[in-house]
Amino acid sequence: MERQKNRFLEELAKGLGNHQDKEDILLEYESHIDEILIESFDCSTEDEMMKRIVSRLGSPKEIAELWKEELSVTPSNMKWLFILLNILFFGGGSLLTLAHNLFQWEWLAAIWGYLTAIPTLIAFLYMFFWALLGYEIGKGFGHKGRTLLKNTFLLSLIPNLILMFLTVFHIIPHSWFAPLLTKTFIIACIIFTIFLYPVSWIGYRWGRKGSI
What is d(CA 82, CA 85) in angstroms, rounded to the nearest whole number? 5
Strand segments, DSSP code E, in the chain are none
pLDDT at residue number 181 = 63
Asked if omega into 159 is within 30° of 0 (cis), the reply is no
pLDDT at residue number 202 = 92
What are the mean pLDDT values of the chain's consecutive 10-residue runs (212 residues total)?
84 86 84 86 81 88 79 65 82 82 85 82 87 85 78 83 76 68 72 88 83 58
What is d(CA 119, CA 12) in angstroms, rounded to the nearest whole number? 49
DSSP three-state, residue 43: coil
C-beta separation of 129 from 85 below 8 A: yes
pLDDT at residue number 178 = 62
pLDDT at residue number 182 = 65
pLDDT at residue number 199 = 92
pLDDT at residue number 210 = 62
Contacts of 20 (CB under 8 A, 6+ apart): 71
